[in-house]
Each structure stands twice: as structure tokens, then as C-alpha cells.
Amino acid sequence: MSYPPTQFVTSRNMAIYDSNQQISMWEDSFKSDSSPNTGGSTIVEADGKLDYRSEDVSHRTLGAPKKFDQEANKSNDKVLRRLAQNREAARKSRLRKKAYVQQLESSRIKLAQLEQELERVRQQGVYMGGHAGDSSHLALPGTFNSGVTAFEMEYGHWVEEQNRQIHELRTALQAQVTDIELHILVESGMKHYENLFEIKSIAARSDVFYLMSGMWKTPSERFFLWIGGFRPSELLKVLTPQIDTLTEKQIVDVCNLQLSSQQAEDALSQGMDKLQQTLAETMVSGPFVPSGVNYMGQMMMIAMGKLEALISFVNQADHIRHQTLLQMQRILTTRQAARALLVLGDYFHRLRALSSLWAARPREPT
């Protein structure tokens, strides 16, 4: 797959590669009732003799072809299947309703915790929230950013929920549950990653430098950081060998997906390089000892406008990550997709555990 060359303009967004077009092209490369005839016996008396004619009729009825019984059995089977389908649909509906209620309750608890945290900080006198017109997403060190605090709480809950889902997936795969039950777990896992991208988008508007620095992740995870998250093409290399036997077509599709992800990543990385170059040129343009304050203010406003593009870069990187996961789900079977989500969750869990071990390692006395 080929992508059009990178183009940048000299306006506020001159540093952004036309990654939306790249991603769009990348996405295109990838979508009996039966009526008894037995009546009461009619006894006809003629010349002192009893005539049991009704019993003759009964015997003839019993000798009818068996196809009527077969049709009745087929109809009963259809009814039983329909009842089973209705029961399964009702069960899934109850599960969805339960999950929705739990999510609402979790959101309520998180909001209450956030309000308590903000109130505690205000009482301590360290709240330094931005005023109108401030660029809160470019907060200075030492300032309190409510958006960052909210994101840290949300991400902490996200990790806890991911650990719970990993355990549930592992138990389901070991128990050999049905594909329908696995499909529900897979959809829940995919929705969980989508929620992560949503809260990251909000955090990027609050403090994009904080998000891109990876301070919300452990040191081992930051080692593999790419524009505020994991690199999709590299993650596919980790996942593919751990998935159950793939067909030849699946192998080809996964390879194509990896190539497309790599091309989209390269396009975005080129845009980041261009942004760094233009920002550096802006900062060194003109004398370092300006004749007036207005000049410095104008230069900083230009630089701030260029930095606003970082938010777009983070969102586009998360878009690539999201689309890669969706495409991977379409390629795999339900059971393979469940296995892939389990491997992905375990991978991040092990990176976090590695960071804990590294922090607790024995150190030589200085």
C-alpha cells in the first residue's frame, strides 16, 4: 500500500501531516397440531346383534401413514429451538442491563471521589487552577491540574477493570464456554479499550505534555511508548505467535494489517518530526535579546499555536491503535479474539509487574 507524500502548510497546523487521509486509505485496505380421529364407540343394535362399526374406523385411522407424526415432531423441534433462542436473548439482555447499571454506579463513585479530592486540595491551599484564557493543557510544573487528577483516577479504575476482565477471559477459555459467551466477553474487552481512548482524549486537552510523557504509565511501559501509547505494529508482533493456529488467509491478513499499521505510524511520526523542526525554527527566529516585550509575546503565541497540534497527534495515534484492534478482531474467530485480548492484557500486566520489581530491586550502598 502506498501513501501520498506528506504535505505541510505554514499555518498553525503546518506541522501536521495529512494523517487523516493516510488513516482513511489505511482503513479502506482492510469489514403441529394433530387432530385425533378417535371418537366414542357407537354401538348399533340390529336384529339382536351389536355392530361395532366405530372400532373399524379407529383401526383404519391407526393405520394412517406416519408422516403426520413426523411433521408434528418437526414442529415441536422448531418450537423448542425458538424457546431456547428466546431464553438466550433474554439472558444476554439481562447481562447488558446489569453491566450498564454497574457502569453507572461506578461512574457515580468516581465522581464522588473526584469531588472529595478536589475539595481536599482546595482546603490545603495548593489549588492553582487556570483562569479564563489560560492554556491549561500546557500547565507548568508544580501547578495542580484537575483534568490530570481526574484522568489518573479514571486510569487507575481502568487498570483494575482490565485485571478483572483478564481473569474472566482466562476462566472462560479454560472452561471451554460457548462462542456466544466468549463473544460477550470479547465485546466487553473491546469496549474497555475504547473507553481508554476516550479518557485519554479528554486528558490530552487538559495537559498533552503529561499524557505524551507517559507519566501515567509504569517505567517499563514508558520504555515502549509511542505518541502517548503502544505502537500497534509492534504489538501485533507480540500477539500473533500467541494466538491459536491461524489459517493461511488469516496469516496474510495479519501481515497486511501490520504493514498498514506501520505505514500509518510512519506518516504520523514524520508529522511529529516536522512539528519539532518548525517549533525549533520558531523559537530561534529573531534575536535572543528582543528590543521589546511585544516581540517575545508574539513569538510565544506562534509557538503555542504550533504546540496545539500535539493534541491532534495524540488523538490520531489512538485512532490508529483503535482501528488496529478492530481490524484484528474482524480477522480472528471469536475464540482467537478472546485469546488475543487475554495475551494483550497479560502483556501489559507483566510490564507493570516488571516495573514494580525494578523499583524494589536491591541497591548497592552509595
What is the extent of the structural domain holding 82? 77-128
Find residue 49's DSSP bridge partners. Answer: 46
Instruction: Give the model confidence (pLDDT) of 111-157 as tens digits.
Output: 666 666 666 655 554 333 333 333 444 444 445 578 888 999 999 99
Residue 9 has what pLDDT? 37
Average pLDDT for the chain: 76
Residue 139 has what pLDDT? 47
Residue 3 has what pLDDT? 43
162 found inside a domain: yes
31 found inside a domain: no
Quote the CA–CA distance of 318 and 313 in Å, as a whole number. Answer: 9
Global confidence as pTM: 0.61
CB–CB of 246/254 below 8 Å?
yes
Same domain flag for 121 and 172: no
Instruction: Give the model confidence (pLDDT) of 2-52 as tens digits.
Output: 444 443 333 334 444 444 454 455 555 544 444 444 444 343 444 444 444
191 found inside a domain: yes
Same domain flag for 199 and 324: yes
Residue 200 has what pLDDT? 95
Residue 199 has what pLDDT? 95
Report the percent of the chain where pLDDT is more than 90. Answer: 45
Same domain flag for 83 and 151: no
- Which cell goes with 260? 498498514
Same domain flag for 251 and 162: yes
Q: How many structural domains comprise the chain? A: 2
Same domain flag for 97 and 162: no
Same domain flag for 241 and 124: no
Q: Average of pLDDT values for 53-74?
A: 55
Residue 89 has what pLDDT? 80
Residue 297 has what pLDDT? 65
Instruction: Give the model confidence (pLDDT) of 68-96 as tens digits.
Output: 666 667 777 777 887 888 888 888 878 87
Same domain flag for 198 and 90: no
CB–CB of 343/242 below 8 Å?
yes
Q: Please give the helix or strand (H or E) that residue 203 lies within, else none.
A: helix 179-206
Same domain flag for 82 and 191: no
26 found inside a domain: no
Report the percent of the chain where pLDDT is more than 70. Answer: 66
Same domain flag for 107 and 229: no
Confidence of residue 287 (pLDDT cuts 50, 70, 90): low
Same domain flag for 185 and 111: no
Among 128, 161, 193, where does a domain finish? 128
- Which cell goes with 344? 494483550
Same domain flag for 95 and 180: no
50 found inside a domain: no
Same domain flag for 218 and 250: yes
Whose grid coordinates read 508529522? 271
Quote the CA–CA distance of 4 and 27 in Å, as a whole number. Answer: 15
